[in-house]
Amino acid sequence: MSASFGFNAADLIRFLPETILTVMGTLLMVLDPILHRRGSHAFGHLSIAALVAAIGGAVYAYTQAGPAFGGMLMVDGFATFFRVLVLVVGILTILPSYRFLARQDAETSEYHALLIFSIAGQCLMAAANDLIIVFIGLEISSIASYVLAGYFRDDKRSNEAALKYFLLGSFATAFFLYGVALIYGATGSVNLTAARAVISGQGPGGPAPAPVFIGVAAALMFVGLGFKVSAAPFQIWAPDVYQGAPTPVAAFLSAGPKAATFAVFLRIFMTMFEPIGSGWEPLVWFSALLSMTIGNFAALMQTNIKRMLAYSSIAHAGYVLVALTARSQVGTAAAMFYLAAYALMNIGAFAAVSHLSGRGERYQNIEDFSGLGQKQPLTAAMLSIFLLSLIGVPLTGGFFGKFYIFKAALESHLVWLTVLGLLNSAVAAYYYLRMLVMMYMHEPGEAVENAEPLSLGLRAALILPALGTLLLGIFPTWVLEFAGKSAALVK
Amino acid sequence: MHPITTFHYLALSAALLLIGTVGVLTRRNVVIILMSIELILNAVNINLIAFSHALHNVNGQIFAIFVITDAVAEAAVGLGILIALFRNKETVQADEMDLLKW
Amino acid sequence: MLTDINTILFYVFAALVLGGGILTVTRRNAVHSAISLIVSLLGVAGLYLLQQAEFLFAVQIVLYVGGIMLLFLFVIMLVNLDLAAHQRQFNKQWLVALAAVAAVGAGVGYFLYRGKDAFHFAEGGAGLPPGLGNTEAIADSLFSEYLLPFEIASVLLLVAVVGSVVMAKKRI
């Protein structure tokens, strides 16, 4: 055992996005004494610059695709897809934050630094090929998210959201770790590639370990990851946390960590646990159905818009799980496409909510959107695009997302799940359409009358994801081809 | 006397996991819920060390170091969140946090 | 003879771990819970020693017992828990939770028991290659193979530091 420091220049290039983000996150806090003025936008500008640079870094890293740091990271198309996705989510979180934080007098470098660190953790998760990296990335992302959820320390709702998120999140992490420990025991490794070799019986240690044992590990890891993506029956925290967290943070939580955790989910279950696929399929099948049903039916009954979007995000996690249940390359590609479309439309919808919520986040009810179409046609139009896409109307990204997922499910002969999923989508249309009716068919209420004009940041935060949603709906093949190419996770 | 095998450690760790889970799910006091999570993390570490011993490699011990690192980070942040909450609400009982419906 | 001592020690430490754990989740007073947790953590440290993980034994005592538990005790002092000690200790769903845990426990126990043959390695081995202390072996591995996780763990700790300051400080 000689102490050789096992990395070279190519490894560092493949690690570029994370490097850029951590350096900038640290820099933000160091520059705080110089830049901190009331109403200063410097932190936001610097964060966006870092995120754009990191997108560049991720793309550049892809030109040098391959494993890094002795197989700890796997920079492939899949990793790059999710890295870029979470970085875009980061930009779309910061854009509405400008006005939102200024309104509450809460602009600090810490907010932006924590956001940047959280995204760095998610980039790591996207590229992780070793459970130790998955774990550390997950924790960086989660711990930063707990604090962001409780960022308004003087607001009891925000405190409560942070505490609930923290308690259930760390509980979930502990379960995930227990699963990892069992994997280590059964295979002697926590590297996904090496563990897969052992599980499929091609490892150096002889025959494959008993499948029941791997099964327990898979179930424990499923519980841990299921909590993080708010899949039923582990969805209990999501509505409370989304409601209590500052709105841009809620937007971020519903898109960034979710996409990154699904990346990990797909990578773990489609590589390491792929040989025992028929064992975990019923588990995921059940969870997918339960998520869709609970999410959609509970969303019907909500009066608070943030809670409604939370339940809708639970339902959307269910759709992605349908794609995972398909256990095929087509399914993985469909999940990737869907997560991209979902992130854009959801974060856009939350941006509209954050615009309208007012000082102290007073206006959060669905009725507060009444008459928005008359007073602020642009906001209403953009929100309509997001809602239509969430329903899955043609010409939007949401339509093709659902289409590909159910197509993949049918190809894997999951007829019942497809039928029940489609019925669920029909139920979901009701509560999204109710919002549309509220915006266009009702007289303006207090919230809309008091709404301020759209700031530049918010305008961008609404128009960019709307364009993205339409782009995915009209030219889906651009993204889908890339996803299809990258979905072959087993190499 | 019978020798202690890896399976003994596994059983001990599973028991500790269950005790911790009971604590998380039944206690009202947030500080004690946090301690129960620490118990679960220790159950994980017992497993890792036992496997590391049995497999003759140190990877498990290294993973355990990272688990402890994470326990530190979680404890610090969790207790910070608790202090922020206590300042506003003067309670540490998990089910009295009901501004947002559970 | 050595096996006998190991066996006895294992049961002593296991009793500490489980006894401390049970007391932790059942005590009314949070300080008593914390003390029980320390007992449990010391028992875990003893198990590390039995498994020839000397480095982790030291880490467990210095960091866990010395560091994390101190943090807990500080917070227990900062936050007034007198009121909580006189209130109901268990939430309303405790019976449901207990039943669920018992069911899961039975399931996991059954599967572990059935899966125990999955470990087809030599039991009671020397643990590590001869001529190399535990700490050296860990250092060797940590600073070569595990360099990347080691480095990014610093980001994790930085996030925790910033996060706890943001949460606990009165005014930023």
Using one digit for the tens of pLDDT, what is the confidence trace for A142-155?
999 999 999 988 88
Measured CA to CA in angstroms, residue B93 lies from A55, A90, A156, A160, B98 at distances of: 43, 34, 14, 11, 10
Closest CA to B85 of A154, A238, C68: A154
Q: What is the CA radius of gyration of chain C?
A: 21
Across chain A, mean pLDDT equals: 88
Q: Which residue of A has its CA nearest to B23?
A: A171
Report pLDDT digits (tens) over A90-105.
999 999 998 888 888 7
C105 to chain B, closest Cα gap in Å:
7
CA angle B59, B47, C25 (to 5 degrees): 135
In which region does residue C79 sit, left (phi positive, over 0), alpha (psi from -120 to 50) or beta (all else)? Answer: beta
pLDDT at A9: 84
- Cβ contact (<8 Å) for A174 and B41? yes
Domain extent for A17:
12-32+41-486
Is A350 a residue whose pLDDT tops 60? yes
N-terminal to C-terminal alpha carbon distance within chain A = 29
Length in residues, chain C: 172
Q: Do residues A228 and A153 lie in contact, with contact meaning Cβ atoms separated by under 8 Å?
A: no
Q: What share of chain B is helix, strand, coil (3-state, %, to 5)?
A: 80, 5, 20
d(CA A344, CA A389): 10
Residues A316-321, mean pLDDT to the nearest whole number: 93
Q: What pLDDT score was predicted for residue C78?
A: 81
Q: What CA dihedral angle connects C32, C33, C35 and C38, to 10 degrees?
A: 170
CA of C90 to nearest chain B CA: how many angstroms apart? Answer: 5
Structure tokens given for A398: 């949401």
Q: Give all chains having 3 or more CB-to-CB distances under 8 Å with chain B.
A: A, C
Measured between beta carbons, which residues in chain B are less than 8 angstroms from residue A153?
Answer: 84, 87-88
- CA geometry: angle at A408 spanning A402 and A411, to 5°? 140
% chain A with pLDDT above 90? 49
Coil, strand or helix: which one is A67? strand
> Mutate which of C2, C3, C101 to disrupt the B interface (most B C-beta within 10 Å)?
C101
Identify which has the larger pLDDT, A409 or C171.
Answer: A409
Alpha-carbon distance of A218 to A45, in angstroms, equals 42
Beta strand A73-75 pairing with A66-68:
antiparallel
Q: Do the chains contact at C156 and A18, CB–CB below 8 Å? A: no
Q: How far apart are CA A313 and CA A292, in angstroms?
A: 9
Centroid of chain to Cα A189 = 28
**CB within 8 Å of chain C, chain B residues 26-85:** 26-29, 31-32, 34-36, 38-39, 42, 45-46, 49-50, 52-56, 58-59, 61-62, 64-66, 68-77, 79-84
pLDDT class of A259 with cuts at 50, 70, 90: very high
Look at A163 and B85 and tell me if their CB atoms are within 8 Å.
Answer: yes
Let me know how many helices (H) and strands (E) chain C has, helices first: 8, 0
Segment B19-77, tens digit of pLDDT: 999 898 888 888 889 999 999 999 999 999 998 888 888 888 999 999 999 999 999 99
Please give the pLDDT value at position C29: 85
CA A446/CA A195 separation, integer angstroms: 59
DSSP calls for A110-175: HHHHHHHHHHHHHHHHHHB-BHHHHHHHHHHHHHHHHHHHT--TT-HHHHHHHHHHHHHHHHHHHH
pLDDT of res. C122:
43
The strand pairing partners of B84, in sequence order, are: none
pLDDT digits 0-9 by tens, A436-459: 888 888 888 888 887 888 888 889
Tokens matching residue C85: 């000690």
Q: Provide the pLDDT for residue B16.
A: 92
- What is the dihedral angle through the alpha carbons of B31, B33, B38, B42, rounded to the nearest 10 degrees? 150
Q: Does residue A27 lie in a domain region?
A: yes
In Å, how far are A49, A105, A250, A464, A467 from A101, measured between CA atoms? 19, 6, 14, 20, 25
Local confidence band at A407 (pLDDT 50, 70, 90 cut-offs): very high
Separation between Cα atoms, residue A170 and residue A73, nearest integer Å: 24
pLDDT tens figures, A282-311: 889 999 999 999 999 999 888 888 999 999
- The answer on pLDDT for B89 being more than 70 is yes
Q: Which of A25-39, A220-234, A293-307, B73-87 has the lowest mean pLDDT?
A: A25-39
Is residue A215 included in any domain, yes or no? yes
Mutate to test the interface with C, among B22, B47, B67, B90 (most CBs of C within 10 A): B22
pLDDT for residue B102 is more than 90:
no
**Which is it for the CA torsion A185, A191, A194, A197, positive or negative?**
positive
Q: Collapse the DSSP code of B93 into the 3-class scheme (helix H, G, I; strand E, B; otherwise coil) and give the result.
A: strand
Nearest residue of chain B to residue C154 (CA atoms): B69
Residue A123's pLDDT is 94
Which of A153, A166, A236 has the CB atom closest to B78's CB atom? A166
Q: Which H or E element spans position C172?
A: none
The two tokens of residue C47 are 């198990």
User: Could you count the other beta carbons within 10 Å of the beta carbon of residue A293?
Assistant: 19
Domain assignment present for A6: no
C106 touches chain B (CB under 8 A): no
Q: Residue C117's pLDDT is what?
A: 63
Query: Considering its fold, how many domains does chain A have in total?
Result: 1
Measure the CA–CA gap between A327 and A277, rounded to whole angstroms: 7
Q: How many CB atoms lie within 10 A of CB A29?
A: 17
Q: Could you tell me how far CA A226 lies from the centroid of its own chain? A: 13
Pairwise CB contact (< 8 Å): C143 & A162: no
CATH topology of domain B9-94: Helix Hairpins (1.10.287)
Q: Residues 6 or more apart from C12 whose CB is under 8 A from it?
A: C46
The whole-number pLDDT of residue C123 equals 45
- Distance (Å) from the C-alpha of residue B11 to the closest C-alpha of chain A? 12
pLDDT number for residue A3: 40
Q: Which residues does chain B have within 8 Å of residue A203's beta carbon, measured at their own beta carbons?
A: none
8 Å CB contact between B42 and B68: no
Q: What radius of gyration do chain B's Cα atoms show?
A: 17
Q: Considering CB atoms only, which of B3, B26, B77 is closest to C163?
A: B77
Separation in Å, CA B45 to CA A227, A319, B60, C4: 22, 35, 8, 24
| C71 membership: H or E segment, kind and range | helix C69-78
Residues of A in contact with C156 (CB under 8 A): 136, 139-140, 143
Q: B9 to chain A: which residues are within 8 Å by CB? A: none
Which chains sit next to A, with 3 or more Cβ pairs under 8 A? B, C
Q: What token pair was written down for C108?
A: 């996991």
Angle ∠(A466,A469,A470) on CA atoms, nearest 5: 90
- Block mean pLDDT (10 aa), chain C, length 172: 83 93 89 91 92 89 87 83 72 80 80 64 48 78 88 93 87 60
Does pLDDT of B1 surpass 70? no
Question: In Å, how far is B3's CA from the nearest CA of chain A?
Answer: 20
Radius of gyration of chain A (CA): 22
Chain B interface includes C98 (CB < 8 A): yes
Whether residue A5 is predicted with pLDDT greater than 60 in this model: the reply is no
Q: Residue range A206-227: average pLDDT?
A: 82
Nearest-angstrom CA–CA distance, C15 and A63 = 56
A103 within some domain: yes
User: Is residue A361's pLDDT more than 70?
Assistant: yes
Note whether residue A3 is domain-resident.
Answer: no
